[in-house]
């Protein structure tokens, strides 16, 4: 895809979703963001939002979480998917943050992905939300939308991230992540995308193939 076309697409997405993005780009607490994102795998954000207030009230720091009993954490997070594995992971993560990083969530991606339950996507979320670092977490929405439009041509989230990082201006990476998520939630659904309402349909490879 031509560079000028990419910039036009990004401009249109920005225009459509600037209001959606503002709350997400507020700097957030690294510890809470990290644990919430670990818990969000295969679970809706709404469900995670329901259980994290009690979790962080009981365990407000990595130190306290690292000393928690697995059964107690399981009780609090039982409504999220894979809660048993996640309980073990967040406790181990809290302990490791204290033992290896002085009680602070590490800012380097290479260090973050060493934490139990933390993959590249989770680390990227923490980078953009808590450290204002440019990154491109690729979830199901970003993967679907980027490849449908033609911003990426990839079969894996990792390759999609690699391609998006190359074509999106560094200063826009964090915001673009949220523009793509918003577009996936509002217009570019997994099933029955609303192409007739899509602001970037004229540039979209998927839409062109429908004609």
155: which DSSP letter?
A: S
Q: Which residues contact 94 (CB under 8 A, 6 or more apart)?
A: 35, 59, 61, 62, 63, 64, 65, 66, 67, 68
Q: Are residues 161 and 120 in the same domain?
A: no
Same domain, yes or no: 193 and 114:
no
Same domain, 48 and 116: yes
Structural element, H or E, at residue 79: none
Residues 154, 120 within the same domain: no
Domain boundary among 130, 154, 173: 130
Domain boundary among 108, 130, 152: 130
Q: Return the pLDDT at 23.
A: 62
pLDDT for position 209: 87
pLDDT score of 211 = 66
Q: For position 43, what pLDDT does the model report?
A: 83
Please indicate, yes or no, whether residues 173 and 85 belong to a single structural domain of this protein.
no
- CB count in 10 Å sphere of residue 191: 4
Tokens in use for 85?
Answer: 């594995």
Residues lower than pLDDT 50 in the chain:
none
Res 210: pLDDT: 80
Residue 179's nearest CA partner among 37, 9, 48, 43 is 9
Domain that holds residue 195: 3-25+136-210
What pLDDT does 45 receive? 82
Q: How many domains does the chain have?
A: 2
Q: What is the CATH number of the domain that holds 180?
A: 1.10.1670.10
Query: Is residue 163 domain-shared with residue 83, that is, in the same domain?
Result: no
Domain shared by 35 and 126, yes or no: yes
Residues 8 and 46 in one domain: no
37/118 same-domain check? yes
44 with 112, same domain: the answer is yes
pTM, 2 dp: 0.87
pLDDT tens by residue, 111-160? 999 999 999 999 999 999 999 899 999 999 999 999 999 999 999 999 99
Q: Which residues are catalytic?
A: 121, 139
In this structure, are 150 and 194 located in the same domain? Answer: yes
The structure tokens listed for 125 are 């979320």
- Same domain for 77 and 64: yes
CATH code for position 111:
1.10.340.30
Q: Which of 130, 153, 178 is the last residue of a domain?
A: 130
Instruction: Report how far apart, in Å, the C-alpha atoms of 77 and of each of 61, 66, 86 are.
Output: 17, 16, 8
């Amino acid at each position: 895809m031509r560079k000028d076309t990419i910039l036009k697409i990004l401009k249109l997405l920005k225009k459509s979703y600037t209001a959606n993005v503002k709350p997400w780009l507020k700097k957030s607490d690294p510890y809470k963001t990290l644990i919430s994102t670990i818990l969000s795998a295969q679970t809706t954000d709404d469900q995670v939002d329901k259980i994290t207030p009690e979790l962080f009230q009981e365990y407000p720091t990595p130190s306290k979480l690292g000393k928690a009993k697995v059964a107690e954490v399981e009780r609090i997070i039982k409504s999220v998917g894979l809660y048993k594995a996640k309980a073990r992971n967040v406790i181990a993560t809290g302990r490791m943050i204290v033992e290896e990083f002085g009680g602070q969530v590490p800012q380097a991606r290479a260090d973050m992905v060493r934490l139990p339950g933390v993959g590249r996507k989770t680390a990227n979320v923490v980078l953009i939300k808590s450290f204002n670092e440019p990154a491109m977490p690729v979830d199901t929405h970003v993967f679907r939308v980027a490849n449908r439009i033609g911003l990426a041509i990839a079969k894996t989230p990792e390759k999609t991230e690699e391609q998006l990082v190359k074509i999106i201006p560094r200063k826009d990476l964090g915001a673009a992540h949220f523009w793509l998520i918003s577009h996936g939630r509002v217009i570019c659904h997994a099933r029955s995308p609303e192409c007739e309402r899509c602001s970037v349909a004229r540039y979209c490879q998927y839409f062109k193939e429908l004609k």
